[in-house]
Amino acid sequence: MTENEKKRVGIFSLTCDEGCGIFLTEIFNRKLVEWLEKIELVYFLAIKDHVEIENLDVALVEGVVTSERDKALIEKIRANTKILIAMGTCAITALPSGQRNNFNINQLKEIEGHLEKYKFLPKALSVKEAVKVDDEIMGCPIDREKFINTFEKYI
């Protein structure tokens, strides 16, 4: 397979503990060499320097859309990828990283200054609430076999 035939893959973390991305590096310990015959890993800040987000075949996204910055990033990712996969419970349900959605009025008042200072959205959004998602991999962190099966469908 030539470089031009390889699937361009990006892995992104929004607001979260990055547990799925960390767990993904464990999956890579067993599968990455095999996958590198089929993919070009163009974006994954955990193991690779930053590059421009463009012309992706597959984007894997973990985390929650909590701020204007996250929203702009997920919209850019969606606009520049063919297949977007929500990776992990946060990306699919907005929990646990979006737990402020369940805060009562007093709790919200306590964090009001932080919400304004960091330009947080009124509500934390799952990835699929913010943009169209083509597939999902549930888990916190993701399930190894479910990830492998889902990812291999697209590469």
pLDDT at 46: 75
Please report the domains of the chain, with CATH numbers, ordered by start residue: 3-148 (3.40.50.700)
Q: Which residues pair with 142 in a beta bridge?
A: 139
Q: Which H or E element spans position 88?
A: none
Report the C-alpha dihedral over residues 55, 61, 66, 71, rounded to 10 degrees. Answer: 10
pLDDT at 52: 80
Q: Which two tokens stand for residue 5?
A: 């035939």
pLDDT at 65: 97
Residues in the chain: 155
pLDDT at 2: 67
Record the pTM.
Answer: 0.90
Q: At 90, is the secondary structure helix, strand, or coil?
A: helix
Q: Give Cα separations from 104 to 97, 100, 107, 120, 135 (angstroms).
A: 16, 9, 5, 17, 32
Q: Which of 101, 74, 98 is nearest to 86 (CA)?
A: 74
Q: Walk along the chain (155 residues) in steps of 10 and give the mean pLDDT of each run.
A: 84 88 89 94 81 92 95 97 97 91 94 92 96 96 94 97
**In b/e form, how buried is each residue of 77-98, taking b as 16+ CB within 10 angstroms?**
bbebbebbbbbbbbbbbbeebb
